Structure 1
Amino acid sequence: MKKRITILTGAGISAESGINTFRDSGGLWEGHDVMEVASPEGFARNPELVLDFYNQRRRQLPEVAPNEAHKALFKLEDFYNVTIVTQNVDDLHERAGSSNVIHIHGELLKARSTKNENSIIPWTKDLNIGDYCEKGHQLRPHIVWFGKAVPLLEQAAIATQNADIVIIIGTSMQVYPAASLIDYAQSGIPIYFIDPKPNVSKNNYDNLTVIAKTAVQGIPQLVTELIATIHKN
């Protein structure tokens, strides 16, 4: 039976493919206050602005490609039972081949009804005022906005709880509720934290290995080591 690996990924892994990480050091998203473009209140005030913001993000996806970090994670599936829990709303993990991806913050390539959050459809083009769901309600980006519940958080927590190994990549683990996922990991299992500027202490977790590298630098190396471990056994 394959060991289970749960991988928690954030903006850092997508940034190396050229995707803007949205939020800059001043807390703005592309020059906008985050509440203007990522909250129900912002959408109610100015839906055109919000739709355009995500249309621009969606248009960028065909211009970027999975990087070596995404591709390396896919290789793990031959040897481990892999679940990727990502805060990213792009499709780079899927395009690299990963088959079990939980998008806890939503997905750019989907839209959902403004009246029924469970009415979700694929969406690859611009989303505009006047685009309706089958029941005649305006569609909105399938993004988990600030102040709203994270529907897939429980599924992500179970995946973390059941893991034999946890890998954290390209995320500060300071944005809640996503940051709480690491608390579900079983005591004593190997935890790897890959980030060029890691801000976690080894004293906080049992068996934590910090790899102070970017995703593209650190992940292929770690994947090679994890595969080698399988061959040894």
Structure 2
Amino acid sequence: MSDFASRSFDLAAAREALRSARRVAVLTGAGVSAESGIPTFRDAQTGLWARFRPDDLASPSAYARDPLFVWSWYKERYEVCAKASPNEGHVRLAEMERDNAGGVTVVTQNVDGLHVRAGSRNVVEVHGNLTTSRCERCGNVDPLPPPDAFDLPPHCSKCGSRARPNVVWFGETLPELALERAYLAFEEASVALVIGTSSVVYPAAALPEVTLHRGGVLIEINPEETPLSRKAHLSLRATASEGLRALTAEPRTNG
């Protein structure tokens, strides 16, 4: 727990803030999906892929040079995500949205689609979704076929053109509409909940401070300290599932 947090806030206060908030904005990173067995981008660079730089696998120039090679990398990552299941952290966030009558927005830097599979409906995927493809010509987004029926490269269901992975690559900007939705969620929120992210990748890392600067409460869940920890009202050193379990537990009553 940060020094600031220990002086001004405790777990009971954080639970009450979440229960009473009309709007909660959540920012999630790789730590949420780690419990589902999904490696980070760089952790996935093992075996054949270990000798390549990230720019060789996830950039517009790499795709222009060899689209089938890039698709081979993303197909392998897609297979991992397709086999994974949402964990307790994903499920508790979906339950939080349900209990709050839709007043919870999950902004995720993850591209695995597990928040939606867990039941969250108000999800903003600022880095895209690798379980879908995007047409190079018309921009249409299609779900990828099952991994065992996945031929490379996929083609658009509308115009038949080749499709690319529907993710944000190095050197690309975040989708404008997704970023606008994310900023609006944190502007309107009275509580910002940041889970499993290093808080160093911008512009997503700036989102929690939008809520903080507007007088809202900032709660962080991360096993390690981040640049955001000392700014948070409460920073829990825990995994996503452990932290959310603590925050959403019903208070004990005497008697």
**Contact 1:6–1:160, Cα closer than 8 Å, also in 2:** yes
- Aligned residues: CA RMSD: 2.3
**Contact 2:196–2:221, Cα closer than 8 Å, also in 1:** yes
Measured in 1, the distance between the counterparts of 2:23 and 2:249 equals 16
Task: Note the alpha carbon deviations across 1:183-210, whole angstroms, 9 max, x for none.
Answer: 321433111111101223555x3x5210
Measured in 1, the distance between the counterparts of 2:40 and 2:108 equals 13
Partner SS state of residue 174, structure 1? coil
Q: Which residue of 2 aligns with 1:109?
A: 131
Measured in 2, the distance between the counterparts of 1:52 and 1:2 equals 44
Measured in 2, the distance between the counterparts of 1:17 and 1:202 equals 24
Measured in 2, the distance between the counterparts of 1:42 and 1:208 equals 42
Q: Which residue of 1 aligns with 2:144?
A: 123
Identity percentage over the alignment? 38
Measured in 1, the distance between the counterparts of 2:248 and 2:66 equals 44
What is the deviation of 1:124?
Answer: 3.1
1:74-153 map, 5 Å: 74-80=94-100, 81-116=103-138, 118-125=139-146, 126=150, 128-129=152-153, 131-151=155-175, 152-153=178-179
Partner SS state of residue 192, structure 1? strand
* Structure 1 residues 106 and 198: alpha-carbon distance in aligned structure 2, compared to 1, 3 A threshold: same
Partner SS state of residue 66, structure 1? coil
TM-score (norm 2): 0.79
The number of equivalent residue pairs is 221
Q: Which residue of 2 aligns with 1:55?
A: 75
* Structure 1 residues 36 and 202: alpha-carbon distance in aligned structure 2, compared to 1, 3 A threshold: closer
**Contact 1:110–1:122, Cα closer than 8 Å, also in 2:** yes
Task: Note the alpha carbon deviations across 1:23-73, whole angstroms, 9 max, x for none.
Answer: 2499xx952311111110110112111101111111122321111111111
> Max radius of gyration: which structure?
2
Measured in 2, the distance between the counterparts of 1:212 and 1:96 equals 24
1:3-14 map, 5 Å: 3-14=22-33
Measured in 2, the distance between the counterparts of 1:101 and 1:44 equals 30
**Contact 1:73–1:223, Cα closer than 8 Å, also in 2:** no
Uncovered stretches (5+) of structure 2, i.e. residues with no partner? 1-19
* Structure 1 residues 213 and 154: alpha-carbon distance in aligned structure 2, compared to 1, 3 A threshold: same
Measured in 1, the distance between the counterparts of 2:40 and 2:241 equals 16
More helix by share: 2
Q: Which residue of 1 aligns with 2:7?
A: none
Q: Which residue of 2 aligns with 1:40?
A: 60
Task: Note the alpha carbon deviations across 1:144-195, whole angstroms, 9 max, x for none.
Answer: 1111121111111111111111100010011122112223214331111111
* Structure 1 residues 25 and 39: alpha-carbon distance in aligned structure 2, compared to 1, 3 A threshold: closer
**Among candidates 217, 221, 227, match of residue 246 of structure 2:** 221
**Contact 1:55–1:127, Cα closer than 8 Å, also in 2:** no
Bigger relative contact order (CA 8 A; separation at least 6):
2
Q: Which residue of 1 aligns with 2:221?
A: 194
Measured in 2, the distance between the counterparts of 1:155 and 1:147 equals 21
**Contact 2:109–2:125, Cα closer than 8 Å, also in 1:** yes
**Among candidates 158, 177, 180, match of residue 154 of structure 1:** 180
